[in-house]
Amino acid sequence: MVLRLGRPANQKSFEGTLFGNNFQIQPVIKGKNSFSPQIKGTITDSANGTTILMDLKIHRFVIVFMAFWLGGVGLGFVGTIYGILRQETNPLFAVVPLVMLAFGIGLAFFGFNSEKEKSIAKIKQIVDGKTRNNKFANSVDT
């Protein structure tokens, strides 16, 4: 029995489609990660080499789910404030929805950004790419 903690050497890093000079890919991950970026890109030729422009986004379902979840927590916060103003609720109860809002926003922000950076680094490694003027390209003017 062999116990592997990492990815097998022959496993691909991304999967998706290539059509013309455009592509849509996502990272191949082990397990579930809702914040893995959905990557759309364009490949263009120039005098200095090939340029790859990418747009990395959170999956639409995750955006919709987070909007409903954070919206519900926001309504709970409004209800708590209403109860506090009517002096029917302890003001400490307002902390719970605030913590939930902060956690939800932080989870989405930091979860996506860490996965985005991992994907960009892996793509750079695959194409031996460099960053030029905050744009991703596989060649750099010297």
pTM: 0.72
Looking at the predicted structure, is the pLDDT value of residue 7 above 60? no
Looking at the predicted structure, is the pLDDT value of residue 77 above 60? yes
Reading the block at residue 99, the tokens are 């913590």
Tens of pLDDT, residue by residue over 36-74, are 999 999 988 888 778 888 999 999 999 999 999 999 999
| Inter-residue long-range contacts of 112-119, CB under 8 Å, 24+ positions, other chains counted | 112/35, 112/37, 112/58, 114/35, 115/27, 115/33, 115/35, 115/36, 115/37, 116/37, 116/56, 118/27, 119/14, 119/27, 119/36, 119/37, 119/39, 119/56
Percent of the chain predicted with pLDDT > 70: 83
